[in-house]
Amino acid sequence: MFVQRSYIPVTVILLAGLFGNAACNKRATDPYEPVDVAQQYPYFPLEIGKYIEYAVDSVVYDFAPGGGTVRDSSHTLVRETVVDTLRDNTGSLVFAIERAERAGDTKPWQPRQVYSATRSATQATRTENNLRFLKLIFPFDRSSTWDGNLWIDQYREIEIAGERIQPFVNWRYEVDSLHIPAQIGGFAFDSVLVVTEVDETNAIERRLSRVKYAKHIGVVYREIWILDSQYCNQIPAPADCLTKPWVEKAEKGYILRQIITGHN
């Protein structure tokens, strides 16, 4: 039994985000080409006054009283603006990013959180909700992989709708595509980088996080699936255990999609 209701969005951890099959283990083996790292930094631009606006849609799954699953859906508008800089204890330049939200185009922006980001010659990081992510490494190519969650215990639990869940197990960031044209939302971009941060599925867990970056803009698309289900643990296991879509068998967790709607 499913019950669906809408609600004013609650803050969900943005992990750093498209339907897809499980990622292939085979990485690209293209012939080596010299990398101009200066042409890669614009995928992660940091400049005071720069902003990006997004439409964010999410579905949160939870156990319903008396059995079944509740799916709470939300739609909100988000603006992320680089508002300030400071130096950390290593002397590195840190950019403060203010996240504001509103429920509709005519509503005022309401500040919600402040994140931070850094970019050095070799890496780009972002910190959200006291979780630090290594979003990109420099230089990168089509075969690049890295531990983007190296500062996070992979067994760390977070709470979603009152339920405990471990979202970070077995993450491994990898470049899927780079310097490709893409139509995202209402924009046509001529140079996009696609990074899959995790794409894992088993009988009881679905983990997907995929992010698209556009040159000189930053993140233009993000999709995250953090879902758990005990559907396949029934005895006997249902015949459609492995084929039933996750949007139907998920019992806790969330799906989130974030798409660019504007920028300067």
> How many CA atoms lie within 13 Å of 189's alpha carbon, on the beta-carbon side?
27
Write down the pLDDT at residue 232. Answer: 92
Banded model confidence at residue 51, pLDDT cuts 50, 70, 90 = very high
Write down the pLDDT at residue 27. Answer: 54
Q: What is the DSSP string of 69-105?
A: EEEEEEEEEEEEEEEEEEE-TTS-EEEEEEEEEESST
Give 186-237 pLDDT, tens digit per residue. 999 999 999 999 999 999 999 999 999 999 999 999 999 999 999 999 999 9
Whole-number Å distance between alpha carbons of 187 and 180: 14
Banded model confidence at residue 33, pLDDT cuts 50, 70, 90 = low
Write down the pLDDT at residue 65. Answer: 85
Q: Residue 42, SS3?
A: helix
Banded model confidence at residue 18, pLDDT cuts 50, 70, 90 = very low
pTM to 2 decimals? 0.86
Query: Is residue 22 over pLDDT 60?
Result: no
Banded model confidence at residue 68, pLDDT cuts 50, 70, 90 = confident
Mean pLDDT along residues 168-172: 97
Whole-number Å distance between alpha carbons of 143 and 248: 34
Cβ burial 137-175 (10 Å sphere, 16+ → b, else e): bbbbeeebebebbeebeeeeebebbebebebbeebebbb
Banded model confidence at residue 254, pLDDT cuts 50, 70, 90 = very high
Residue 190 region by backbone torsions, left for phi larger than 0, else alpha for psi between -120 and 50, else beta = alpha
Write down the pLDDT at residue 106. Answer: 92
Q: What rounded mean pLDDT belongs to the chain?
A: 89
Mean pLDDT along residues 33-59: 94
- Between these two residues, 43 and 162, which has the higher pLDDT value? 43
Q: Residue 204, SS3?
A: coil
Q: 249, 231 in Cβ contact below 8 A?
A: yes
Write down the pLDDT at residue 63. Answer: 87
Q: What's 137-160 look like in SS3?
A: ECCCCCCCEECCCCCCCCCCCEEE
Write down the pLDDT at residue 32. Answer: 55
Q: 16, 209 in Cβ contact below 8 A?
A: yes
Q: Which residues contact 107 (CB under 8 A, 6 or more apart)?
A: none
Query: Is residue 3 over pLDDT 50?
Result: no
Q: Could you tell me where the DSSP H helices lie in 96-236?
A: none
Give 104-137 pLDDT, tens digit per residue. 999 999 999 999 999 999 999 999 999 999 999 9
| 167 alpha-carbon distance from chain centroid | 12
